[in-house]
Chains A and B, each alone.
Chain A
């Protein structure tokens, strides 16, 4: 059955219905320990049916094209136990034009991906012969369509391409990990920016340095910001957590919570970025949503249901990541670029720390804003200079305390992994514990 047949079928038993269909194919080439190891091709599709019956939501999904006819009976069964339907599916409305499809990505030959991977590995190994590299290059095409009983019908096709590298240097019992990634809807075959960043990491980590315990100034690189500071913010700005009171930002809309230099918005309309789209997974048009303006919390992210409960409108952030019903989720979190060069930040520090990757930061009580982790990749700064890589070092802090103190924004803003665009951030003081 195609989605319009499923919709018709569902409407025989349901009061309202919505069918969502996604079909994806991706191909990846993986190098392990410098050698091309495997080529993987994956074709998948997924149907989801959401209905309203007797005022309750029913939901069923199927990743089996031969069993779509079961969707309706399964959705009806779950509706007996479903949440009350307090919202309406959206009526048709115009969608913004957001470019997310590049035929060059769809047509990208595997050979070009392999060649880009080899170039990256050869360049890294010529500088660091003992480095062992895992590199993966991928390309994918996704077709998404959605129809509901209010007459909304939309579809779009999206391409994605990504390159990720992880390098490992083992010296006796000392292991160093470096790495970087890039993703886009355009083909990611130019790996020179990735190469440059990884070479810089290796250069800074050439020797090990000891880090004394105590409170020190700290610089989070764009990688460090994305990995350690963004997930507590994403959770706090999620309208669902705000509505339920589990966000520290609940009740703080319109209030200055962060330092006045902090700006943040959610933007699903950046051209050719993997989180971009003309409409969300509930058929609501995409919009750019300011979240923090000059330190003041201005908006939260909503899907249809959460927005209705919060007496506001969906921000177009209904997402079906995972298996459940749509739920609010960020698209891309973007901060403005700053005007301080990282070199200037470093030269201002007498004794401090640069954090590129914090291991374990996402595990803990994210809601509270507390974070703590092992500095897996980070560098000691002494007298205005990077003196080496730190090890066996823990840092701990709270993002609300950090982002409310004086912050310097770097002029090095960049995309990290396609979901976050941030500069380096420097804070006056963070707790460090080391051995």
Chain B
């Protein structure tokens, strides 16, 4: 006979764990229980292709024994108690380590979804109908070959318990919409993309007919566009791409797990080091209301808070887990996150942005004689010192004016020079809600990033 765990059963299991975990022989133990429901719908080549309904349940236990970590997960909730033993045994195999945790009190709290942020309440038929409208807009656009319209939503309930008595029950929701319009002619293929999301708010993606139409038109135009010539340019980034830039250029480097265990990197990333001009301020803030990277408690049960990473051009803070905060003797920030119960939490960003300045877009481009305006995004990646970020579209700037359309470009920077080359910051912050972040095999983690328009001098652009 199957027995499904009810809402109350999960609550009871979480409460029991919060009382029991402290009794096991370990420095620290935590457990996560997660139930999730998801819907995926894809239109491909103008046909509804995939409609999937997915459910999952699972749990994990992470144990710190004598300074070393063991972790066990599975999707049988009945085996969560046996997993405590497995996690401890695995940690013991290591024979001691140097992990210590910054002290934190136990929290008991419940966080429910914000009103209007539950995608499960939107009827399946409404989801299909909206995608059919977007699909039809693209299908009617002349010059296109095919398109992919892809929608996903998820609802998660995560219950956290630890050996300090924490018992936190949090609901989260996430919606993403990705549209890719493809144009092809004479063996040449070009595409234009739109990627948006929300923390479960259906309205955020339900009125994009105009954006969808202009994305579709862009793909056809790109076929005629020339490629940029590679080299150094003065570039202007729109807020979407500048958000990706902020995330890649500095966000990842401020994750303390990259730094805490390496003396050279600690030296390199000393608090107070100048990375940019005085008007450069970069923030990570999970407490912002209802963004995709927002949460009240991280996956170690630590309350989130606003963290300045760069203030007036200087490094002033970084993102921490309990372990990295202890190792570096710095304050907790609540940035330990896991994509699901199948992974231990690691240091991650939440909502990361460059604070607005005072320039208008016109001022930013006015004195550029020959440059590139890069807009939208495919993605970005970093090796900490050097990073790349790729634009969805690009234009040549000539004598202070936006001129011809170019093929998408990939840009690269070096954290020690590029941030100092930001010479203008716009006044209009915009948060990009369409991305997912990958690190340590955990992808995609809902995050948002943002920025106003920015200008970067001497930015290296790839091209033939």
Q: Contacts of B182 on A, CB cut-off 8 Å?
A: 244-246, 367
Q: Contacts of A82 on B, CB cut-off 8 Å?
A: 48, 51
* A127 at the binding interface (Cβ < 8 Å): no
Residue in B72, B93, B232 whose beta carbon sits within 8 Å of that of A110 in the complex: B93
Q: Contacts of B54 on A, CB cut-off 8 Å?
A: 60-63, 323
Q: Interface readout for B225-258 with A: 1 if CB under 8 Å, 0 if not?
A: 0010011100000000000000000000000000
- The answer on a CB contact under 8 Å between A44 and B342 is yes
State which residues 386-401 of B face A: CB under 8 Å.
386-390
Q: Contacts of B72 on A, CB cut-off 8 Å?
A: 40-43
- The answer on a CB contact under 8 Å between B386 and A59 is no
Q: Contacts of A392 on B, CB cut-off 8 Å?
A: 386, 412, 414, 460
* B357 at the binding interface (Cβ < 8 Å): no
Name which of B107-115, B199-207, B260-268, B313-321 contacts chain A.
B260-268
- The answer on a CB contact under 8 Å between B462 and A66 is no
* B272 at the binding interface (Cβ < 8 Å): no
Q: Contacts of A175 on B, CB cut-off 8 Å?
A: 383-386
* A132 at the binding interface (Cβ < 8 Å): yes
Q: Contacts of A36 on B, CB cut-off 8 Å?
A: 68, 94, 97
| Number of chain B interface residues as a range | 35 or more
Question: Given contacts A368-B188, A391-B386, A433-B461, is CB(A83)–CB(B47) below 8 Å?
Answer: yes
Residue in B125, B384, B410 whose beta carbon sits within 8 Å of that of A396 in the complex: B410
Q: Contacts of A370 on B, CB cut-off 8 Å?
A: 227, 407
Name which of A73-81, A148-156, A200-208, A280-288 contacts chain B.
A73-81
Q: Interface readout for B30-44 with A: 1 if CB under 8 Å, 0 if not?
A: 000001001011101
Q: Contacts of A240 on B, CB cut-off 8 Å?
A: 44
Q: Contacts of A263 on B, CB cut-off 8 Å?
A: none
State which residues 30-87 of B face A: CB under 8 Å.
35, 38, 40-42, 44-45, 47-58, 68-77, 86-87
A370 to B94, CA, bound (A): 46
Q: Contacts of A372 on B, CB cut-off 8 Å?
A: 390, 409-410, 462-463
Q: Contacts of A323 on B, CB cut-off 8 Å?
A: 38, 40, 52, 54
- The answer on a CB contact under 8 Å between A132 and B464 is no
A166 to B40, CA, bound (A): 35
- The answer on a CB contact under 8 Å between B388 and A363 is yes
- The answer on a CB contact under 8 Å between B462 and A433 is yes
Residue in A32, A367, A369, A433 whose beta carbon sits within 8 Å of that of B231 in the complex: A433
Q: Contacts of B58 on A, CB cut-off 8 Å?
A: 44, 63-64
* B23 at the binding interface (Cβ < 8 Å): no
A40 to B410, CA, bound (A): 36
- The answer on a CB contact under 8 Å between B184 and A246 is yes
Q: Contacts of A63 on B, CB cut-off 8 Å?
A: 54-58, 75
Residue in B262, B410, B414 whose beta carbon sits within 8 Å of that of A33 in the complex: B262
Number of interface residues of A (CB under 8 A): 86
State which residues 1-30 of B face A: CB under 8 Å.
2-5
A435 to B230, CA, bound (A): 11
State which residues 125-148 of A face B: CB under 8 Å.
130, 132
- The answer on a CB contact under 8 Å between B98 and A35 is yes
* B146 at the binding interface (Cβ < 8 Å): yes
* A67 at the binding interface (Cβ < 8 Å): yes
A73: nearest residue on chain B (CB-CB)?
B53
* A111 at the binding interface (Cβ < 8 Å): yes
Question: Given contacts A37-B69, A63-B56, is CB(A44)–CB(B388) below 8 Å?
Answer: no
A260 to B463, CA, bound (A): 27
Residue in A41, A359, A373 whose beta carbon sits within 8 Å of that of B71 in the complex: A41
Question: Given contacts A38-B68, A432-B230, is CB(A364)–CB(B378) below 8 Å?
Answer: yes
A428 to B207, CA, bound (A): 50
* B380 at the binding interface (Cβ < 8 Å): yes
* B303 at the binding interface (Cβ < 8 Å): no
Residue in B44, B74, B76, B191 whose beta carbon sits within 8 Å of that of A365 in the complex: B191
Residue in A65, A75, A244, A248 whose beta carbon sits within 8 Å of that of B44 in the complex: A244
Q: Interface readout for A340-379 with B: 1 if CB under 8 Å, 0 if not?
A: 0000000000000000000110011101111011101000
- The answer on a CB contact under 8 Å between B412 and A394 is yes
Question: Given contacts A32-B261, A360-B380, is CB(A433)–CB(B2) below 8 Å?
Answer: no
A108 to B44, CA, bound (A): 44
* B90 at the binding interface (Cβ < 8 Å): yes
* B142 at the binding interface (Cβ < 8 Å): no
* A292 at the binding interface (Cβ < 8 Å): no
- The answer on a CB contact under 8 Å between B230 and A431 is yes
A64 to B262, CA, bound (A): 41
State which residues 87-112 of B face A: CB under 8 Å.
87, 90-91, 93-94, 97-99
A396 to B464, CA, bound (A): 6
Q: Contacts of B412 on A, CB cut-off 8 Å?
A: 359-360, 373-374, 392, 394
Q: Interface readout for B316-352 with A: 1 if CB under 8 Å, 0 if not?
A: 0000000000000000000000000010100000000
Q: Contacts of A91 on B, CB cut-off 8 Å?
A: none
In the assembled complex, how far is the CB of residue B29 from the closest CB belonging to chain A, in whole angstroms?
A: 14
Q: Contacts of A66 on B, CB cut-off 8 Å?
A: 2-5, 57, 76-77
Binding site for A on B (CB under 8 A): 2-5, 35, 38, 40-42, 44-45, 47-58, 68-77, 86-87, 90-91, 93-94, 97-99, 124-125, 128, 145-146, 182, 184, 187-191, 227, 230-232, 261-262, 264-265, 268, 342, 344, 378-381, 383-390, 407-410, 412, 414, 416, 458, 460-464
Q: List 12 A-B contacts (CB under 8 A).
A: A37-B97, A42-B74, A42-B342, A59-B53, A64-B35, A170-B265, A324-B40, A364-B390, A367-B189, A372-B410, A398-B464, A434-B460
Binding site for B on A (CB under 8 A): 1, 32-33, 35-45, 58-70, 74-75, 77-78, 81-83, 110-111, 114, 130, 132, 168, 170-175, 177, 213, 240, 243-248, 250, 252, 323-325, 359-360, 363-365, 367-370, 372-374, 376, 391-392, 394-398, 400, 431-435
